Amino acid sequence: MDALKIGNYIKTLRKTKGLTQKDLAEKLSVSFQAVSKWENGETLPDTGLLTDLCDILDTTADKLLNGGVFVKKDRKLMRVEDVVLGFEHIEDLKRCFGENCTFYTGMIDGINSKMNIDLRDDIKDPALLEVMWAEVLVQGILSGRTVDMDEVRTIFSRQDMIDVIDNYARKAAG
């Protein structure tokens, strides 16, 4: 375990939550100096505090102890970055094959028909693009895959889409 990496992750999450070291310390019934030592990598939180600390910072113990790195286990993690990249590849196909190539137009027509959208126009609108990313993630969640909500919050700008994904992820987790 890298104490400095863990400390930096605690600090980042604390600040994201709008908490001071004193605020976090009070919630955990420890001194603000203890929080400072964690964040500077001098010490680690007691194991007895981990579940409360993770609840307050909205993270998991495995992620906290890995300094913010999600450790993939046997779960089928769906990376938001991969979903975004998939949509970028749709544009790459248009560029590589040509906008009028039967393969490309057939793919677009199939998506449009199945999803009742106009992908060529919708993909150009950042707000609609996020809706499509969310749709892909929700479909993944419904088919048994998981998402890292920290990654979702990092990539998505629309809070309503974050809330939708989080709602489905929580329901799936039981």
* Residue 154 maps to a domain: yes
Supply 38's token pair.
Answer: 């964690």
Q: Do residue 122 and residue 92 come from a single domain?
A: yes
* Residue 75 maps to a domain: no
Q: Do residue 104 and residue 137 come from a single domain?
A: yes
Please tell me the pTM assigned to this model: 0.56
Domain-ending residue, one of 32, 65, 98: 65
85 class by beta-carbon count within 10 Å (0-12 exposed, 13-18 middle, 19+ buried): exposed
Q: What span, in angstroms and rounded, lies between the C-alpha atoms of 10 and 34?
A: 12
* Residue 70 maps to a domain: no
Task: List per-residue pLDDT tens for the chain, 174 residues long.
Answer: 788 999 999 999 999 999 999 999 999 999 999 999 999 999 999 888 888 999 999 988 878 888 887 665 545 889 999 999 999 999 899 999 999 999 999 999 999 998 889 999 999 999 999 999 999 999 999 888 899 999 999 999 999 999 999 999 998 887
Q: Do residue 58 and residue 84 come from a single domain?
A: no
Q: Do residue 109 and residue 167 come from a single domain?
A: yes
- Segment 50-85, tens digit of pLDDT: 889 999 999 888 788 888 876 655 458 899 999 999
